Chains A and B, each alone.
Chain A
Amino acid sequence: FNGAAHLVRADDSDAATNRRRRPAPPGYLDEQFSQVEDLQDETSPNFTEEVVSLFFKDSTRLMTNIEQTMEKYPRDFSRWDAHVQQLKGSCSSIGASRMKNECTSFRNSCGAGNIESCMRSLQKVKGEHAALRQKLESYFQLLRQAGPAGMAIRHGGM
């Protein structure tokens, strides 16, 4: 079973692009996630899970940061933007494409100086974060169930 497949979408576009094409829900993860998985090998057998777990730790902290910043510095859009950019970088590095898209749209809102849409974006980012976490947790759980043999087959081709 390959749970991650459901999360993968072939291309990696930003929200703006989506609007122009036929509307479709993007995958939760993009090709970059495959890149990360490909880095896993005998020398670092739990690499993917380590990275993902690190991501959720750090991104949670970042989002809390953003929230606090928005409270402490109302209307300081460039400051907000700087934080969101950080979060976006993280998202992109593990291929969290939906979350990344929401970050982009958040940044756009900051650029436009629109508080409401910033608030909305923040909520969306949090939502994507939670959803992704849930799915990845299930994914890793299944991988564990499959045991070492399962892992071997998943990555044996490389």
Chain B
Amino acid sequence: MKKGWKEIWSGHDGGEVGLPSFGDCERAVMDMESFLARLRVLAVDDDRVCLKILETQLRHCKYNVTAVTRAEAALEMLRARKDGDQFDLVISDVHMPDMDGFKLLELVGLEMDIPVIMLSANEEMETMMKGIKHGACDYLVKPVHLDRLKNIWLHVVKKSMNDPRDHISGANDDASQKRQSGDAEDEKNGADDTKKHSRKNKKDGDDPEEDSENTSTQKRQRIQWSADLHRKFVEAVHQIGIDRAVPKKILDVMGVDGITREHVASHLQKYRLALKKLSLGTDKQSNPCPAGTESWRRDWNYINMNGLASSPSALGTHRLLHSQSVKPISSQRSLGIPVRDMGPAGNGGNLLNAVVHDVSNVTSGNSYGHISNGGLPSGSGPSGSYIENIRNRMVLDADRSFPFAISGNSFANMSNGTQPLVPGLVSNSLKGDVLSMFPGYGPSQGNNLKINQLSGIAASSGQMTAIGDEIQNRMAALKGKSTPVVDFSEQMAPFNLGNYTSVPINNSALASAPTIRSALPDIQIGNLGMLTQMLNGGGANVNVLDEKDGTSKVYQHATGDLVGTSEAQNQMGGDLDDFFIDGLI
């Protein structure tokens, strides 16, 4: 188990998420497996081959998998399970004939609010960015390695940690009652997406009356802006007039106990900024709500909720996150939360920054920390122009066509405590590969992502695909450390079965261990010395000791047919992956 794993689990007490609490690592491992087995993953891919492989990979990771080839079918299943036994995570291909993957992504985010991981053979930055913009919590490029799937459970945990515990009144009955009234509210408001709020309302459903109990005891009580409360707020604002609405007046008009002027002030600020954002023009298609108030409200809920996210746990989670989530920096801006301006009343906002900043410091150094603070350029330091450009580009995109509802989603994810990293540079798979380009990269270099070099490369090559090619090159070279791949291929002759003398095949005929993809059939596992010798152009006859019956078999083979990765190489490849990940934490 990696360090920090325990931190996540300790201190959690089952609660609504159903996470066990652990005293020690051993119990933790067993509970972990049962936790994973309870995680329901829905895999969607129209390609049967990909789907079959994905399904099997997920099963190997111990998840509880359901696989479908059609997005429509997936949606049906998701909708059918809204009242119970819902999936915890969706993994979906981007390009599907019956429904665009992005569309599915949006719908799942709106209706069920489950984390969605996008999958695609397409590794173009734009597509990846599009995925994140539409609310994907991660984007994996096919073909997907088993390793990438092992830790997807983190997305589930992150998301559920982001939902507020019922600190305030405690009783779940109350919460569910609130939900019912909350749902009723939604229906009255005529929103299509009642369901999407049912979960939120359940969490937010605390009455202001209940809050008042605690206001006196706690200094700064975080207010859950329930549907009801917000409605009162909006009514008050309109009554007073948006231009003349000051917190004090609003508070008076609302006539609600248990909230303070400060609460109203911060809420008002967000409201104003959101209105401003809305007036810039939103994507109507993905925002079915009138004036976006519903989804907007959900966003604020996320902000409030984030205040409750316990930092150390979030950090712990984030440290382990294998494939990182890509968060558009601009989403923060588009929601108009200029971090610095939050003022004393902005509990949620400040905490958000605190969490994000802390997290970013832990994982990848200060440059990201700066970026996460609302994209303020000061002291971005080595991040240089490349990241600034990306950020600026994203902001421009955001203003133009950033669907408001969706930005809420991504923002919500961001408020989970993962820092918004530069898209395209971010997913650990790519990051690991990119880092492999730098000879001498080592764990000691740790968090320093050498943004300079990255930006230099980006600038010179101009396109990620070119980088991708180069990366593959280096990676290959690295994988073939003991026997250079390039030399190898020169020795390569086209595949020719006929060169092998047929020898009675017995037990050990297929002696190669799965990790030895050697051309020498009778090599015993671990017989690397001989292997290397042969691979380096050894003779035509190979005498190999047959372990099973103790005889020596003779194989004839054509020199130069020796292709493939030795166990060492495969091992190396695998180890390198770990190597990179460790270096990143």
Q: Do A and B come from one complex?
A: yes
A24-B570 in contact (CB<8A): no
Question: Taking A2-B517, A6-B496, A6-B564 as contacts, is the C-beta distance between A13 and B49 under 8 angstroms?
Answer: no
B121-A24 in contact (CB<8A): no
B122 sits at the interface (CB 8 A): yes
A13-B473 in contact (CB<8A): yes
In the bound complex, CA of A2 to CA of B503 (Å): 13
Instruction: Indicate with 1 or 0, residue by residue over B462-494, a CB within 8 angstroms of chain A CB atoms.
Output: 000000011011011101100001101110101
B509-A50 in contact (CB<8A): no
Question: Taking A8-B517, A25-B489 as contacts, is the C-beta distance between A150 and B472 under 8 angstroms?
Answer: no
B50-A90 in contact (CB<8A): yes
Q: Which residues of chain B (249-302) have a CB below 8 Å from chain A?
A: none
B49-A90 in contact (CB<8A): yes
B390 sits at the interface (CB 8 A): no
A93-B142 in contact (CB<8A): yes
B505-A22 in contact (CB<8A): no
In the bound complex, CA of A138 to CA of B293 (Å): 63
Find chain A residues with CB under 8 A from B570 CB.
Answer: 31, 34
In the bound complex, CA of A85 to CA of B513 (Å): 34
A89 to B, closest residue via Cβ: B121
Q: Which residues of chain B (504-560) have a CB below 8 Å from chain A?
A: 505-519, 521, 525
A76 sits at the interface (CB 8 A): no
Place the interface of chain A in its size category: 35 or more
Other-chain contact of A8, B46, B472, B486, B564 (Cβ < 8 Å): B564
A44-B56 in contact (CB<8A): yes
Using a CB–CB distance below 8 Å, which chain A residues touch chain B?
A: 1-14, 16-17, 20-22, 24-28, 31-32, 34-39, 44, 47, 50-51, 54-55, 58, 82, 85-86, 88-90, 92-95, 135, 138, 143, 145-146, 149-151, 153-158
Distance in Å from the Cβ of B309 to the closest Cβ of chain A?
A: 35
B50-A24 in contact (CB<8A): no
A17-B469 in contact (CB<8A): yes
B510-A143 in contact (CB<8A): yes
Find chain B residues with CB under 8 A from A58 CB.
Answer: 47-49
B393 sits at the interface (CB 8 A): no
Instruction: Indicate with 1 or 0, residue by residue over B236-260, a CB within 8 angstroms of chain A CB atoms.
Output: 0000000000000000000000000
B509-A158 in contact (CB<8A): no
B561 sits at the interface (CB 8 A): yes
B57-A3 in contact (CB<8A): no
In the bound complex, CA of A21 to CA of B497 (Å): 27
Find chain A residues with CB under 8 A from B477 CB.
Answer: 11
B479-A149 in contact (CB<8A): no
Find chain A residues with CB under 8 A from B488 CB.
Answer: 9-10
Find chain A residues with CB under 8 A from B190 CB.
Answer: none
In the bound complex, CA of A146 to CA of B509 (Å): 7
A157-B514 in contact (CB<8A): yes
Q: Which residues of chain B (297-317) have a CB below 8 Å from chain A?
A: none
Residue of A5, A58, A85, A157 ringed by the most chain B CB atoms within 10 A: A5
Find chain B residues with CB under 8 A from A7 CB.
Answer: 495, 563
Using a CB–CB distance below 8 Å, which chain B residues touch chain A?
A: 46-50, 52-53, 56-57, 60, 93, 95, 120-122, 142-143, 145-146, 469-470, 472-473, 475-477, 479-480, 485-486, 488-490, 492, 494-497, 500, 505-519, 521, 525, 561, 563-565, 569-570, 573
Find chain A residues with CB under 8 A from B47 CB.
Answer: 58, 86, 89-90, 93
A1-B563 in contact (CB<8A): no
B573-A14 in contact (CB<8A): no
Other-chain contact of A21, B146, B486, B509 (Cβ < 8 Å): B486
B56-A39 in contact (CB<8A): yes
| Total residue contacts A-B, CB cutoff 8 A | 183
A5-B564 in contact (CB<8A): yes
A-B contact pairs, 6 of them (CB 8 A): A11-B479, A17-B472, A31-B573, A37-B514, A94-B53, A149-B507
A8-B121 in contact (CB<8A): no
List 8 A-B pairs, minimum CB-CB distance, nearest first. A11-B476, A157-B513, A24-B489, A89-B121, A150-B510, A8-B564, A1-B521, A6-B495
Distance in Å from the Cβ of A85 to the closest Cβ of chain B?
A: 6
Question: Taking A34-B514, A35-B143 as contacts, is the C-beta distance between A150 and B507 under 8 angstroms?
Answer: yes
Find chain A residues with CB under 8 A from B93 CB.
Answer: 89
In the bound complex, CA of A58 to CA of B495 (Å): 25
Find chain A residues with CB under 8 A from B476 CB.
Answer: 10-13
B472-A12 in contact (CB<8A): yes
In the bound complex, CA of A1 to CA of B311 (Å): 55
Find chain B residues with CB under 8 A from A22 CB.
Answer: 486, 489-490
Residue of A47, A54, A82 ringed by the most chain B CB atoms within 10 A: A54
B143-A93 in contact (CB<8A): yes
Distance in Å from the Cβ of A3 to the closest Cβ of chain B?
A: 7
Distance in Å from the Cβ of A131 to the closest Cβ of chain B?
A: 9
Other-chain contact of B472, A4, A14, A36, A151 (Cβ < 8 Å): A14
Distance in Å from the Cβ of A30 to the closest Cβ of chain B?
A: 9
Residue of B47, B49, B486, B569 ringed by the most chain A CB atoms within 10 A: B49
Distance in Å from the Cβ of B559 to the closest Cβ of chain A?
A: 13
Residue of A27, A54, A93 ringed by the most chain B CB atoms within 10 A: A93
Distance in Å from the Cβ of A92 to the closest Cβ of chain B?
A: 5
A150-B505 in contact (CB<8A): yes
Question: Taking A13-B469, A21-B473 as contacts, is the C-beta distance between A50 and B525 under 8 angstroms?
Answer: no
Kindly list 18 other residue pairs between chains A and B, CB separation below 8 angstroms, not including A37-B514, A135-B495, A153-B511. Answer: A2-B518, A5-B512, A5-B564, A6-B495, A8-B565, A12-B476, A13-B472, A22-B489, A34-B515, A39-B146, A51-B53, A89-B47, A90-B47, A93-B47, A93-B50, A150-B507, A151-B510, A154-B514
Find chain A residues with CB under 8 A from B495 CB.
Answer: 6-7, 28, 135
Find chain A residues with CB under 8 A from B511 CB.
Answer: 153
Question: Taking A11-B479, A17-B473, A155-B514 as contacts, is the C-beta distance between A2 and B521 under 8 angstroms?
Answer: yes
In the bound complex, CA of A8 to CA of B570 (Å): 12
B494-A54 in contact (CB<8A): no
Question: Taking A39-B57, A89-B142 as contacts, is the C-beta distance between A150 and B473 under 8 angstroms?
Answer: no
